[in-house]
Structure 1
Amino acid sequence: MSTRWYPIYQRGNPQLRVFLPNFWMKLVRPLPRQLPNIVHFQCSMEMTKYDIKNYLEKIYQVPIVDVRTKITTGKFRKDVGKGYVVKDDDIKYAFVTLPKNMKFEFPDLLSGKKSEEEEHTKSLDESKKSFKKYINQNKDRPDIPSWFSI
């Protein structure tokens, strides 16, 4: 249940309120040996299996067969500056099973980045060429600083 309501007060009847859930879910890249109809989520600790199922069915209209959850404990580590022992937050994972005829494929977000990488390499090559030209102009004048050239 959420404690956030919007708007808090409105004149007249009926009072219009919008329910804003405190829950969140994050899609996580699945493990290498995962069936194609299983989706891996990281979710808030307060969510139950039924909350996860209702969240996906009601908001995203995704048919769900089964939900399994796992809580992993955070790591203990020593703080670098003070030397205190610090524990990372626990994480709750949800493994959602879709029907057999549905197949989930994790989206490839980096597929369009190749053209940008090519542009970056081209600009890097151009800057290297201009720098070599700049160095070659000033190599015959060892007494004068290179920034003094025009």
Structure 2
Amino acid sequence: MSTRWYPIYQRGSPQLRVFLPNFWMKLVRPTHEQPPNVVQFACSMEMTTNDIKNYLEKIYKVKTVDVRTRIALGEIRKDPGKGYVVKDDDIKYAYITLNKAEKFEFPELYPAKDKDKSEEKTMEQLRKEYSNFIEKNKERPNVPGWFSI
């Protein structure tokens, strides 16, 4: 269902209406350990379990066994500048269970690169220089580093 307004259809003119859903889903990395066939999504508050199931099956052609949802309460905090209480928006989470044979692994977006030996050398050199600086200035407490000769 969409809440957008579209131009009224008039006879003889081409139909310019395109119906787009207001729904959205975002893949979320789970905070707790879950079975390999369970996937967690953050979705719009208006989506029901049937909407979520249809969304995944029609658009992405993912067969779902079960869909469960929960609404997480938004964080309540004090605004640091003004001092009044601020509440973040609530978030609806959907837990989708796939077939037992299917397994979902969260994609690794930023793979760890092998560290170059040059980086290790520069870090070791910086550590040595810092320890030399501390050793040289240990008898002059509370004197800034830029104030040395």
1:81 equivalent in alignment to 2:107: no
Query: Does 2:40 correspond to 1:40?
Result: yes
Residue equivalent to 1:107: 107
* Partner residue, 2:70: 70
Q: What one-letter code is carried by the residue in structure 2 that aligns with 1:114? A: K
**Counterparts in 2 of 1:71 and 1:17: CA distance versus 1, 3 Å:** same
> May I ask how many residue pairs the two structures share in their alignment?
124
Q: TM-score, normalised by structure 1?
A: 0.70
Counterparts of 1:33 and 1:14, CA distance in 2: 53
The unaligned stretches of length 5 or more in structure 1 are 129-150
Question: Shift in Å at residue 64 of structure 1?
Answer: 0.4
Q: Please state whether the residue corresponding to 2:113 is helix, strand or coil.
A: helix
Correspondence for 1:28: 28
Q: Take 2:5 and 2:56, find their aligned partners in 1: how far apart are those partners?
A: 21
In 1, the alpha carbon distance for the partners of 2:17 and 2:82 equals: 47
Aligned mates of 2:110, 2:79 — CA distance in 1? 34
Q: Distance in 2 between matches of 1:42 and 1:85?
A: 25
Q: Note the C-alpha offset of 1:9.
A: 6.2
Q: TM-score, normalised by structure 2?
A: 0.70
Of the structure 1 ranges 29-38 and 100-109, higher mean CA displacement relative to structure 2 is found in 29-38
The answer to whether the Cα contact below 8 Å between 1:64 and 1:97 also exists between their aligned partners in 2 is: yes
| Structure 2 residues without counterparts, runs of 5 or longer | 126-149
- SS of the aligned residue for 2:42 comes to strand
* Cα distance in 1, alignment partners of residues 60 and 49 from structure 2: 16
Report sequence identity in percent: 67
Mapped partners of 1:46, 1:60: distance in 2: 20
Cα deviations by residue, 1:64-106 (Å, 9 ceiling, x for unpaired): 0000001011111111111101111111000000011111110
